[in-house]
Structure 1
Amino acid sequence: MGMVVHDELRSEVGRVLAAAGVGPHSRLCCALSGGVDSVSLFTLLCSLQAPFGYALSAAHVHHGLSPNADAWAAACARRCERAGVPFQLFRVTVARDHPGGLEAAAREARRAALDRVECDWLVLGHHQDDQAETVLFRLLRGAGVHGAAAMAALDRPRSARCPGRLRPLLGVRRAQILAWARAAGLRWEEDESNADERYTRNALRRQLLPAAERIFPAAVPALARAAENFREADTLLDELAALDAAACGGAPLSRSAALALGAARLGNLLRWQLRGAGALAPSRARLVEAVRQLCAAGADTPLRLVLGDRACCAYRDALWLEAAAPAPLPPAQRWHGQAALPWGQGEVVFAGAEGEGLSRVRLAAAAEVSLAPRREGMKLRLDSRRPRRSFKNLCQEAAIPAWLRARLPVLWVDGEPAWVAGIGVAAEFACAAGETGVVPRWHAAAAGADPARGVS
């Protein structure tokens, strides 16, 4: 029996490694807590190293929450030394005031630490019982399709800086792992906090899931199948969001095209963009309210709606996400005829033209031309027949919202404002008919956007 289980577990781990394309050039790191699941996984990975040819290491996260934490770390280090596997120890500080509680704080600290491991794949010991527990936990907290999809056996890397995740035991029951570990004569550490039912997940594991299995004997595999169904639906929603984003112009989105999608698809698109930006997920209520305000507002109404650490902004026909607390603007930059200068999340592009934009002759004769933010008391004359007007009045006339005004790039010529993005060119610097000119345009970066892109 032990050999059958061993072969099943080894085959299951090998199947997931093969699906991920693991081979001789792959670097795998086993997240080794010291418990039975991770110790079993580590042992199986050691046995598969020769046929697959990958480089194997292990990492342990020391949370400092248990009086036994030092002993667990030492046991993991000894295990790796005996196996000849490189070992990394991460000591983390777990926030005691985390809004999600100590469990959530520990998970975040552990994930952040393991994200720093230099490897291609981080291999985790989650099993089918963990999956069922996660699905139940998230459903009881009102999760949507993405949250209820829980964990995947294979998660591709989110970025070049973070390893992918493999969970090769996700289809295996914990009882199978325990039976094999005992048959193999393995020794492991027991975390005393796993018995503390003050922690929500422990209460689910020790009370709710056993009760569900008494009524539905196949509750655990059924919940795991539900996660697969949710993941399939989540993939389809992501594909729909990608199609909608392309149809709405990318970044920034066309506001009118996005609103034409309807509330449900617009909400799905914003949720997808937030997740792609690595933003914290807003509550459903907050997202629904943001979509309601977008749909209810007039087509030209400027909006800035905070969604956690991101803000959804609408200005003219542009709709985009940006950091809720925008990055500081760059210092003044001298312009010597460059094709572009960086600005905020994008750049100001200077294009040649005839009979429009700024007079190239005036620019060439200036002692200093620089790109910089507005200055206090700044005034501008857009029409030579009219007096100068305040920056505030010009912004109001151009329907530029107050939260955007300080971020508008200004081209200064010998201390005078010659051009302001979204407002225009000062009359005294304007190009005459038939004269060679320069047209500045503020363009957004591809990953998030400023509304004055393409506006001279």
Structure 2
Amino acid sequence: MSAPDEFLERIAAVLASAGVSAGTRICCALSGGVDSVVLFEVLRRLQPRVGYGLSAAHVHHGLSPNADAWAAACTGRGARAGVPVQVFRVEIERNHPDGIEAAARAARHAALDTVACDWLAFGHHQDDQAETLLFRLLRGGGVRGAAAMRVLSPPVRGRPGRLRPLLALRRAEIEDWARRQGLDWVEDESNAALHHTRNALRHRLLPVAETLFPAAVPTLARAAAHFAEADDLLGELAALDARACGGLPLSRQAFLALGGGRQANLLRWLLQRAGAQAPSSRRLAEALRQLGALPAARALDVSLGAWALRAYRDRVWLEPSAEPVVEALVWDDEPALPWAGGYVRFEAACGEGLSAARLAAAKLRALAPRTSGMSLRLSPQRPRRELRKLCQEAGIPAWLRARLPVLWVDGEPAWVGGIGIEAAFAAAPGEPGVLPRWSVGEPGAGGEEPAAWPAA
């Protein structure tokens, strides 16, 4: 019996630590270069032992005259191995503010995020980790940036998790194994172009560092691991602070009682959980300054890029800057309907909510936006009042009112999210009822969600 391949066993251990087992779906990000080819081959060889599903994906950037040949090499490799390979052709933003490298990376990850899998596996190695750490430090990155890449990054909000089984290996080890196995791969000519920042770090800065510190690469990788530990601790602190601020939305008073560093850390953590990019330190500091200077009675809406920091009365929250699309939806007794980036769920109740009999007798029931001048009577003992005034009393700022879900029953408003139920449609004591609830996130998903107005 031949001795086990130590190289393969090291990768198998990483897969085991990620909980990869029979039924797990892994997609290998296959560029055609030596790192991804080795990863593909290792995953192919380990598949029968572990039993996971294996596929591959290649992103065709169109930046090189050899791009078609690289795509063909990847699909050919997959065909010979009996592994399906999906090719994505992407358009690169030539005027990206962070350069063509960042634009290609953004387009690549956006494409790969659409793959139906549990884990996206990348061929990043220890030398890549050292380059990433230097790159982010020289750009003024914080603790999270200095943590660089992680071996395991769990799935976030529907996006596949990231798996980097080769991250503890040096580039030379990977190339040596590839040669011993007789593998062939493609060479990207842009890897030698020194006008690309990452290439300059690889070919100029790191070799100098290694002449002064022979263990520079593993030492830098170890430093990234220390930063990752610190980032995890900051995440735990942010979770504690979020609970101390009452969950989401945050209590404005409690949030402002935190120190400035903890405020910024909490907002960065919430954006990270939402899958959003952290704003610059300058922009975040300005948003926090405005929040602290503004009287509590005044509403705040400060852009942080694709997301915004918003506050009203004693509530503080984050949400996407772009207004969500709200369209009329007929309700045919579905348990939930999508609305404004979240869901309206309809729960069975008794003696509360909407009268189930009244709803069953209706000819048309639909979720739709409010109409101008509409009014509601929340109790038989109270007069009908304009929705605008009810929103003011409920603490719903003006910019959120256009997205409030309204359940229209035969042309009459029966319920408004965040406001309540029209008395004429209310279930009587002991009567079967239907209780609508508007929430952010997937239907039935509970827990804290760093996003829009958490209306009742």
Q: TM-score with structure 2 length normalisation?
A: 0.80
Shift of residue 49 of structure 1? Answer: 2.8
Alignment of 1:171-182 (within 5 A): 171-182=168-179
The Cα offsets for residues 15-58 of structure 1, whole Å up to 9 and x where unpaired, read as 21121222333333222211111222222223323332333332
Q: Distance in 2 between matches of 1:306 and 1:91?
A: 32
Cα separation, partners in 2 of 1:398 and 1:243, compared to 1, 3 Å: closer
Aligned to 1:255: 252
Please say if residues 60 and 76 of structure 1, whose CA atoms lie closer than 8 Å, have aligned partners that are also in contact: yes
Shift of residue 346 of structure 1? Answer: 6.0
Aligned to 2:328: 331
Q: Secondary structure at the match of 1:93?
A: coil
1:306 is aligned to 2:311: no
Aligned to 1:110: 108
Cα separation, partners in 2 of 1:408 and 1:352, compared to 1, 3 Å: farther
Which amino acid counterpart does residue 28 of structure 2 have in structure 1? C
Q: Distance in 1 between matches of 2:128 and 2:258?
A: 37
Q: Secondary structure at the match of 2:309?
A: strand
Cα separation, partners in 2 of 1:94 and 1:334, compared to 1, 3 Å: closer
Q: Distance in 1 between matches of 2:436 and 2:115?
A: 42
Q: Distance in 2 between matches of 1:380 and 1:21?
A: 53
Which amino acid counterpart does residue 186 of structure 2 have in structure 1? E
Alignment of 1:95-174 (within 5 A): 95-159=93-157, 161-174=158-171
Alignment of 1:234-249 (within 5 A): 234-249=231-246
Please say if residues 121 and 165 of structure 1, whose CA atoms lie closer than 8 Å, have aligned partners that are also in contact: yes
Shift of residue 79 of structure 1? Answer: 2.4
Please say if residues 57 and 86 of structure 1, whose CA atoms lie closer than 8 Å, have aligned partners that are also in contact: yes
Which amino acid counterpart does residue 92 of structure 2 have in structure 1? V
Cα separation, partners in 2 of 1:352 and 1:322, compared to 1, 3 Å: farther
Shift of residue 237 of structure 1? Answer: 1.1
Cα separation, partners in 2 of 1:388 and 1:36, compared to 1, 3 Å: closer
Aligned to 1:186: 183
1:265 is aligned to 2:262: yes
Shift of residue 348 of structure 1? Answer: 9.8
Shift of residue 389 of structure 1? Answer: 9.7
Shift of residue 301 of structure 1? Answer: 2.3
Aligned to 1:292: 289
Please say if residues 103 and 199 of structure 1, whose CA atoms lie closer than 8 Å, have aligned partners that are also in contact: yes
Cα separation, partners in 2 of 1:274 and 1:450, compared to 1, 3 Å: closer
Cα separation, partners in 2 of 1:416 and 1:166, compared to 1, 3 Å: closer
Aligned to 2:443: none
Aligned to 2:37: 39
Please say if residues 443 and 450 of structure 1, whose CA atoms lie closer than 8 Å, have aligned partners that are also in contact: no
Q: Secondary structure at the match of 2:88?
A: strand
Please say if residues 272 and 278 of structure 2, whose CA atoms lie closer than 8 Å, have aligned partners that are also in contact: yes
Aligned to 2:57: 59
Which amino acid counterpart does residue 141 of structure 1 have in structure 2? R
Aligned to 1:215: 212
Number of residue pairs matched?
Answer: 444
Please say if residues 194 and 202 of structure 1, whose CA atoms lie closer than 8 Å, have aligned partners that are also in contact: yes
Q: Secondary structure at the match of 2:28?
A: strand
Q: Secondary structure at the match of 1:311?
A: strand
1:404 is aligned to 2:400: yes
Q: Distance in 2 between matches of 1:367 and 1:27?
A: 46
Please say if residues 441 and 453 of structure 1, whose CA atoms lie closer than 8 Å, have aligned partners that are also in contact: no
Aligned to 2:312: 315
Which amino acid counterpart does residue 108 of structure 1 have in structure 2? A
Q: TM-score with structure 1 length normalisation?
A: 0.80
The Cα offsets for residues 196-249 of structure 1, whole Å up to 9 and x where unpaired, read as 111111111111111211222211111101110111111111112122222322
Shift of residue 103 of structure 1? Answer: 0.8
Cα separation, partners in 2 of 1:369 and 1:331, compared to 1, 3 Å: closer
Q: Secondary structure at the match of 2:169?
A: coil
Shift of residue 138 of structure 1? Answer: 0.8
Shift of residue 128 of structure 1? Answer: 0.4
Please say if residues 9 and 169 of structure 1, whose CA atoms lie closer than 8 Å, have aligned partners that are also in contact: no
Q: Distance in 2 between matches of 1:233 and 1:198?
A: 33
Cα separation, partners in 2 of 1:402 and 1:81, compared to 1, 3 Å: closer
Please say if residues 263 and 295 of structure 1, whose CA atoms lie closer than 8 Å, have aligned partners that are also in contact: no
Please say if residues 73 and 89 of structure 1, whose CA atoms lie closer than 8 Å, have aligned partners that are also in contact: yes
Q: Distance in 2 between matches of 1:302 and 1:7?
A: 63
Q: Secondary structure at the match of 1:30?
A: strand
| Residue segments in structure 2 that go unaligned for 5+ positions in a row | 441-445
Which amino acid counterpart does residue 297 of structure 2 have in structure 1? D
Q: Secondary structure at the match of 1:185?
A: coil
Cα separation, partners in 2 of 1:316 and 1:37, compared to 1, 3 Å: same
Aligned to 1:90: 88
Q: Secondary structure at the match of 1:17?
A: helix
1:224 is aligned to 2:221: yes
Q: Distance in 2 between matches of 1:51 and 1:312?
A: 49
Q: Distance in 2 between matches of 1:144 and 1:324?
A: 24
Please say if residues 332 and 373 of structure 1, whose CA atoms lie closer than 8 Å, have aligned partners that are also in contact: no
Which amino acid counterpart does residue 281 of structure 1 have in structure 2? A
Q: Secondary structure at the match of 1:314?
A: strand
